[in-house]
Amino acid sequence: MKNLINRWKATWNPERYHGWGQKAYFEGWYFKIVNETEDHAFAIIPGISIDENGKGAAFIQLMDGKKLEAHYFDFKEEDFNPSIEKFEVNVGANYFSDNKMILDLPNLKGTIKINSTTSWPKSLGAPGIMGWYSFVPFMQCYHGVVSLHHTLTGKLVYDGIEIDFEKGIGYIEKDWGTSFPQCWIWMQSNHFDDLDRKVSLMASVAHIPWMGNYFIGFLVGFYLDDKLYKFATYTGAKRTTKVNGDQVELSFTQGKYKLQIIAHKAEGTDLISPISGEMRGKVNESLLAVLDVKLYEKGSLIYSGSGRNAGLELGGDVEILLT
pTM for the full predicted model? 0.97
Alpha-carbon gap, residue 245 to 242, rounded angstroms: 10
Please state, as a whole number, how many other Cβ atoms lie within 10 Å of the Cβ of residue 292: 15
In this structure, which long-range contacts are made by residues 204-207, counting pairs with CB atoms below 8 Å and at least 24 apart in sequence? 204/143, 205/239, 205/241, 205/250, 205/321, 206/141, 206/181, 206/321, 207/181, 207/182, 207/183, 207/316, 207/320, 207/321
Mean pLDDT score, 199-205: 97
Mean pLDDT score, 110-123: 96
Please state, as a whole number, how many other Cβ atoms lie within 10 Å of the Cβ of residue 217: 22
CB 219 within 8 A of CB 201: no
In this structure, which long-range contacts are made by residues 209-217, counting pairs with CB atoms below 8 Å and at least 24 apart in sequence? 209/140, 209/182, 214/182, 216/241, 216/320, 216/321, 217/133
CA nearest neighbour of 140 among 239, 277, 237: 277
pLDDT over 90, % of the chain: 91
Q: Is the pLDDT of residue 257 over 80?
A: yes
Parallel, antiparallel, or unpaired: how do β-strands 247-254 and 238-244 relate? antiparallel
Mean pLDDT score, 312-318: 94
For the chain, the average pLDDT equals: 95
| pLDDT band of 8, cuts 50, 70, 90 | confident
| pLDDT band of 124, cuts 50, 70, 90 | confident
Structural domain spans, the chain:
2-321
Q: Is the pLDDT of residue 119 over 80?
A: yes
Alpha-carbon gap, residue 170 to 31, rounded angstroms: 7
pLDDT tens digits for 32-80?
Answer: 999 999 999 999 999 999 999 999 999 999 999 999 999 999 999 999 9
Q: Residue 1 has what pLDDT? A: 83
The strand pairing partners of 74, in sequence order, are 59
Chain-centroid distance, C-alpha 27:
12
Alpha-carbon gap, residue 43 to 117, rounded angstroms: 17
Q: Is the pLDDT of residue 195 over 80?
A: no
Q: Residue 215 has what pLDDT? A: 95
| pLDDT band of 196, cuts 50, 70, 90 | confident
In the DSSP assignment, the letter for residue 320 is: G
